[in-house]
Amino acid sequence: MAKVGIVMGSDSDMPVMAQAADILEKLGVDFEMTVISAHREPDIFFQYAKSLEEKGVKVVIAGAGKAAHLPGMCAALFPMPVIGIPMKTSDLGGVDSLYSIVQMPSGIPVATVAINGGTNAGLLAARILAVSDQELLGRLKVYSESLKNDVVTKAEKLDKIGYKEYLGQMKK
Ligand code: RP5
């Protein structure tokens, strides 16, 4: 049963939303994913958001761009955590989406990640679920450890070959 509902306002958001799906898959968290526009199909959106709790979804990740009302509307209808991903946009660079999502009025919270922050949205959803799931918490700790090891390996390589060679290899 899907624990995380991933929803995006347009399939143009897919490359970013796929980052959230990828990390959830890696961590063994079940999710469902769909495209629903709150303004182009409000009736379908309402049915979707109202059905999430009954389906067993515990966290929603909603991505939207421009006048990005989808995460806020999810939070209005779904009573558990909603994470909003502001999409980078062609005209205003995603600051429009960021301000729309992060500036939720008091009472209906949306946890907002960075512009195009798909991976962190997935990780935050997993961390929320890990509050009551020790095995998932263990997998999250292993993931964090792997990030640390990556940096240590890079520092060792830099020490060994020097910055010019390191930079040259990065440009290849
Ligand atoms: C929002 O408008 C979507 O979330 C998307 O980021 C943005 C543009 O949508 P399209 O015009 O690409 O469908 O609804």
CA–centroid distance, residue 120 to ligand 1 (Å): 21
133-169 residue pLDDT tens: 999 999 999 999 999 999 999 999 999 999 999 999 9
% of the chain with per-residue pLDDT over 90: 98
14-30 residue pLDDT tens: 999 999 999 999 999 99
Q: Give the residue extent of every domain in the chain.
A: 4-132, 135-172
Any bridge partners for residue 60, and if so which? 5, 82
At residue 40, the pLDDT reads 95
Give yes or no for residue 10 CB within 6 A of ligand 1. Answer: yes
CATH tag, 4-132? 3.40.50.1970
Own/partner pairs, 66-69, CB within 8 angstroms, 24+ separation: 66/92, 66/96, 66/97, 66/100, 67/96, 67/100, 68/9, 68/96, 68/97, 68/100, 68/101, 69/38, 69/39, 69/100
Which residue of 11, 34, 35, 66 sits with most ligand 1 atoms within 8 Å of its CB, as the best mutation to test the pocket?
Answer: 66
pTM recorded for the entire structure: 0.95
